[in-house]
């Protein structure tokens, strides 16, 4: 009760100061509802990028084609200051990959290499499987039990609406390869960090800690991991042949694609609306993250169509997110000391937004409250006023820049994430529009009073 | 009304004759309910075969391992007369396969060869795509439009509970390769005959008609087919590189595995309960058709456990079903002229049975009605009295042998059918038990009065 009263009191006291900078609620509602009913921009971007470019692994020629596509598209949509800010990055690429149980029950398995896996070479590696049900169990094992073997870590991730299981249960991908290497394993396979039951393995970034020699590291699909478990339960030694060919190509160019809706007052800090342009290599990166680019950009476009916002809206399609937030770090290195009015990123699929968090600072509670009120009709819960999130923008939020977190429903996200199955058919147009509606409302509130076009012609 | 009355009259007149040959309804209900609550046999077979053998393509060494596994399992379960009836068959095997759009939007696609596809050789074939939305449209096209190109047939199959869409919408797989070849196409790709949206292509048998030279023939996943469509809609020529390596190995051995529950009266015709042992090569053949073997065999085992049936129950695990019902034809050639009391096959997954059809002949309506009554508590509708179905048993049913059709729900069957996704996790143990319950009731009724063991010991 005390908390609620305090919040209400703050709203009253802050309102007069900010009222003139926020568009009136009915204007926000109108923009929101128009997006919810009829947005096509997000779909056009999502469909276009996934169809005309498809997979776009960071640092490759495909990501370069994606940047060119992005620049052309953002210009064609009428944004200003469209440009690429380049950076260099080390590039790893996938080659042939296969897994096979040689004994006791010969059969093929479906595997994919994790990013930065060492190559087995074309001949593969063959060894006995030693299995662990968690990273802790692997860590606790004596080196002798692991040395010369292929480690299998079978840690299970549950689906969660907020995606929090990914942080906790992603350890086998992020930490286990290093531990296995240090204990002398010849390779490692993990149960895919995913929640589906299809024969599509989940790849993802991984790197070996200093002192750990890179070893081949792959992910089995969930049905294959369960099969391997059943085979292991028969109690006989299990021998696997693993082929994971890959290459480290050295440094190549990546880049962030940036565009703007210039504000009425260019001296004010911009609102950054963002997504990432790169994708993993086996799907077409529809939910990760073409849809995010569609959502963020559609919101900016809809505000631009409505008139000139007080503050500049800066759109950033980050490069090289998947391989370590490299685009986000490059932007931070160049612009992270400049003031930003708010950072927002869409990078958790295209299912409906269910909760909004924000961390705008004490003096800006009125905006946070206005955002909550504007989103409630979309079925969005107001969460924390002390938290915002995002992948590329994460380090800058940690630095203290203000932000908003528009949390998408993650219940089925990890069914698809980082698999060949990340394709356009996984994007639900109705839920995509709900995202755009929420984003449009938030960007309208944050970007300030919208000056309607002075000489709009009607025919 | 007339029909209903006639059926009732027949029941009354036929009942006295058959009553002594059928176990009492409460005995059937007891067997049914015990299976529904606690059957483990079907799961053990399904789990065991898919785990300890895995994929078992007809005519290969893997199918031979499966036969050995089956013989050992059926003996261990206590069945009599366990044997293999061998036959020879031509064997086709898959090699490397890939597809790639070279222009206008370079990107990989996921493809798999259809059975009996010609090989492209390791270098693949490259050509322009010419697309048709149906087999009829391909048939109607002038040869000139097809010659030297890669045909794409994009016929869409809806999901249906009774699976009838497979017959109608399977034409692109069965007929289009021949038509494309005759018109001079260099290769053909079809939208997978399936109803899912995963990057797992659906293979299946196909053969070229006389006079049509084999060409490479593959199936794209549904997401890839839709992607190809979107690319084609941009209106520019689309160039694809297709690699489908495969081999015709000549004649190899396959076989039917047979086992029996000997009846009290060996002079009476047997009831044949069946499934197929072989599977396609990319999944572990869980729903197609390890589960079918589990269901049919569990029912026979449960009757055997209850006592000695009047009639012999003959279990047949057919070989080489997937490549053209070869096991069924081999059995028919050897035993098709012998009288059979009824043929039943389980080969449509492991989801619940929703309808029972039968074609037992006019004098046996009482049995058909008793079957309907015994299955109703499982939520099973009584369908036709003039129809039965089954894959391997189909030709013998067409010859006029009596049969029962226990129709499984096919709504999700073609999500998984003939894909790498056909794995154990797709089998729902509860629905599997419902199948066993229904089968147990049917086999109990058909196999006649069960003689309880005379010297059952209780401890």
At A223-232, the pLDDT tens digits run: 999 999 999 9
The rounded average pLDDT for each run of 10 residues, N- to C-terminus, in chain B (459 residues) is 36 41 93 98 98 98 98 98 98 97 98 98 98 97 98 94 90 94 98 97 96 97 98 98 97 98 97 98 98 98 97 98 97 98 98 98 94 98 96 98 98 97 98 98 93 58
The answer to whether domain A95-249 has CATH 3.50.30.30 is yes
Our CA-based measurement puts residue B307 at a distance from the nearest CA of chain A, in whole angstroms, of: 32
B203 contacts B55 by C-beta, under 8 angstroms = no
B42 contacts B432 by C-beta, under 8 angstroms = yes
The verdict on B51 touching A (C-beta cutoff 8 Å) is yes
The verdict on A99 touching B (C-beta cutoff 8 Å) is no
Distance CA B318, CA B257 (A): 6
Domain boundaries, chain B: 19-89+251-447, 91-249
Residues 121-140 of A with CB under 8 A from B: none
Contacts of A108 in chain B (CB under 8 A): 54-55
pLDDT at A335 over 70: yes
The verdict on B199 touching A (C-beta cutoff 8 Å) is yes
Residue of A nearest to B56 (CA): A107
A246 contacts A206 by C-beta, under 8 angstroms = no
Residue of A nearest to B97 (CA): A96
What pLDDT was estimated at residue B449? 83
Distance CA B178, CA B211 (A): 9
What pLDDT was estimated at residue A5? 36
CATH number for domain A18-90+251-447, candidates 3.30.413.10, 3.30.390.50, 3.40.630.10, 1.10.10.10: 3.40.630.10
Distance CA B276, CA A448 (A): 68
Residue of B nearest to A48 (CA): B230
What pLDDT was estimated at residue B21? 77
Our CA-based measurement puts residue A52 at a distance from the nearest CA of chain B, in whole angstroms, of: 5
Q: How many contacts (CB atoms, under 8 Å) link A and B? A: 93
The verdict on B54 touching A (C-beta cutoff 8 Å) is yes
Going by pLDDT thresholds of 50, 70 and 90, the confidence category of residue A129 is very high
pLDDT at A427 over 60: yes
ipTM, two decimals, is 0.92
DSSP-assigned beta bridge partners for residue A152: A131, A189
Our CA-based measurement puts residue B159 at a distance from the nearest CA of chain A, in whole angstroms, of: 17
A83-110: per-residue pLDDT in tens? 999 999 999 999 999 999 999 999 999 9
pLDDT at A248 over 70: yes
Q: Mean pLDDT throughout A310-331?
A: 98
Nearest 10 degrees: Cα torsion B179, B183, B185, B187 = 20
CATH number for domain B19-89+251-447, candidates 3.30.1330.200, 3.90.550.10, 3.90.226.10, 3.40.630.10: 3.40.630.10
pLDDT at A17 over 50: no
Residue B282's contacts (CB-CB under 8 Å, 6 or more residues apart) are A199, B55, B94, B112, B200, B203, B419, B420, B422
What pLDDT was estimated at residue B452? 76
pLDDT at A332 over 70: yes
Contact B51 A423 (CB under 8 A): no
The verdict on B285 touching A (C-beta cutoff 8 Å) is no
Looking from the CA of A394 toward its CB, the CA atoms found within 13 Å total: 11
Q: How many helices (H) and strands (E) does chain B have?
A: 16, 14
What pLDDT was estimated at residue B444? 97
Read off the DSSP letter of residue A287.
I
pLDDT at A458 over 80: no
Contact B197 A55 (CB under 8 A): no
Contact A424 B105 (CB under 8 A): no
The verdict on A426 touching B (C-beta cutoff 8 Å) is yes
Going by pLDDT thresholds of 50, 70 and 90, the confidence category of residue A455 is low
What pLDDT was estimated at residue B7? 37
The verdict on A243 touching B (C-beta cutoff 8 Å) is no
Which of A231, A420, A427, A428 should be substituted to probe chain B, the one whose Cβ sees the most B Cβ atoms within 10 Å? A420
Going by pLDDT thresholds of 50, 70 and 90, the confidence category of residue A1 is very low
DSSP-derived pairing of the beta strands A353-359 and A403-408: antiparallel
What pLDDT was estimated at residue A64? 98
Which of B45, B51, B57 should be substituted to probe chain A, the one whose Cβ sees the most A Cβ atoms within 10 Å? B51
Topology of the domain comprising B91-249: Glucose Oxidase; domain 1 (3.50.30)
Contacts of A55 in chain B (CB under 8 A): 107-108
What pLDDT was estimated at residue B451? 81
The verdict on A200 touching B (C-beta cutoff 8 Å) is yes
Set B63, B97, B260, B321: catalytic member: B321
A249-258: per-residue pLDDT in tens? 999 999 999 9
Contact B423 A51 (CB under 8 A): no
State the angle between helix axes of B429-447 and B291-306 in degrees (0 to 180), rounded to the nearest 10: 50
Contact B47 A230 (CB under 8 A): yes
Has A321 been annotated as catalytic? Answer: yes
Residue B221's contacts (CB-CB under 8 Å, 6 or more residues apart) are B109, B110, B111, B192, B198, B199, B200, B201
Mean pLDDT computed over every residue of chain A? 94
């Amino acid at each position: 009760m005390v908390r609620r009263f305090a919040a209400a009191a703050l709203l009253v006291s802050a309102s007069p100061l900010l009222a003139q900078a926020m568009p009136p609620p009915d204007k926000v509602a109108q923009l929101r509802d128009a997006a919810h009913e009829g947005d096509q921009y997000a779909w056009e971007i999502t469909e276009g990028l996934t169809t005309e470019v498809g997979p776009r692994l960071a640092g490759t020629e495909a990501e370069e084609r994606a940047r060119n596509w992005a620049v052309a598209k953002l210009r064609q949509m009428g944004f200003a200051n469209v440009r690429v800010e380049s950076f260099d990055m080390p590039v790893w690429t996938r080659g042939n990959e296969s897994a096979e149980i040689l004994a006791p029950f010969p059969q093929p398995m479906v595997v994919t290499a994790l990013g930065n896996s060492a190559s087995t070479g074309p001949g593969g590696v063959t060894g006995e499987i030693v299995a662990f049900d968690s990273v802790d169990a692997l860590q606790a094992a004596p080196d002798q039990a692991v040395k010369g073997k292929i480690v299998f870590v079978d840690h299970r991730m549950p689906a969660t609406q907020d995606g929090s299981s990914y942080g906790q249960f992603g350890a086998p991908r992020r930490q286990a390869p290093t531990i296995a290497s240090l204990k002398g394993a010849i390779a490692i396979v993990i149960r895919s960090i995913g929640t589906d039951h299809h024969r599509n393995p989940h790849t993802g970034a991984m790197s070996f800690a200093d002192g750990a020699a890179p070893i081949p590291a792959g992910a089995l699909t969930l049905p294959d991991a369960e099969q391997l478990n059943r085979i292991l339960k028969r109690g006989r030694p299990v021998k696997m042949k693993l082929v994971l060919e890959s290459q480290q190509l050295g440094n190549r160019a990546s880049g962030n694609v940036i565009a703007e809706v210039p504000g009425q007052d260019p001296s004010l800090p911009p609102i950054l609306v963002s997504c990432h342009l790169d994708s993993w290599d086996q799907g077409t990166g529809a939910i990760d993250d073409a849809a995010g680019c569609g959502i963020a950009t559609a919101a900016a476009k809809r505000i631009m169509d409505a008139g000139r916002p007080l503050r500049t809206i800066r759109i950033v399609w980050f490069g090289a997110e998947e391989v370590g937030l490299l685009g986000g770090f490059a932007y931070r290195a160049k612009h992270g000391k400049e003031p930003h009015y708010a950072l927002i990123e869409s990078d958790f699929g295209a299912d409906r937004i269910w909760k909004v968090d924000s961390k705008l600072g004490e003096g800006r509670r009125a905006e946070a409250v206005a955002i909550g009120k504007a989103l409630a009709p979309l079925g969005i819960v107001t969460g924390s006023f002390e938290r915002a999130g995002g992948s590329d923008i994460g380090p800058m939020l940690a630095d203290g820049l203000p932000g908003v977190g528009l949390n998408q429903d993650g219940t089925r996200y990890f069914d698809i994430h980082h698999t060949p199955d990340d394709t356009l058919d996984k994007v639900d147009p109705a839920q995509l529009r709900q995202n755009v509606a929420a984003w449009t409302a938030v960007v309208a509130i944050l970007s300030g009073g919208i000056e309607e076009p002075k000489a709009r012609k009607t025919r």
